[in-house]
Amino acid sequence: MKSVGLYFMSVFYIAAGIYHFIKPKGYVRIMPLLIPSSWHLQLVYISGACEILLGLLLIPECTRMFAAWAIIALLIAVFPANIQMTINYFQYNNPYKWLTLARLPLQGLLIYWAWTVTGN
């Protein structure tokens, strides 16, 4: 069962990373305002590439621990974008604003899930 979860996690991050390249505008819109707008698209592509790479690195046992810790770091690094998304949805009274609130604690669960792979 543990290996099924590991492969699911790997596919999850690979798919999420690919989506950064398919629909980058959605990610650009939630970039924190403190980051210069000239960097937004590049950072979306970089984070997508990182997700793909780290998803792949979860598979071999020799790179799994590194990938899990790097995923934790990535999830922490992109958390401000999730906060910005929530702010944006509330500012424009988007009917799905409650989903953005639910997404914030989900980030903690994803961090915990990656942490379970580290062996700690």
Average pLDDT over residues 53-59: 97
Q: Are 56 and 10 in contact (CB under 8 A)?
A: yes
Q: pTM of this prediction? A: 0.91
Domain boundaries, the chain: 2-117
pLDDT recorded at residue 119: 80
Question: Residue 1 — very low, low, confident or very high, per pLDDT cuts 50/70/90?
Answer: low
For residue range 80-105, list pLDDT tens digits in order. 999 999 999 999 999 999 999 999 99
pLDDT recorded at residue 3: 83
Report long-range pairs for 57-63 (Cβ below 8 Å, ≥24 apart): 58/6, 58/9, 58/10, 58/13, 58/117, 59/6, 59/7, 59/10
For residue range 59-68, list pLDDT tens digits in order. 999 999 999 9
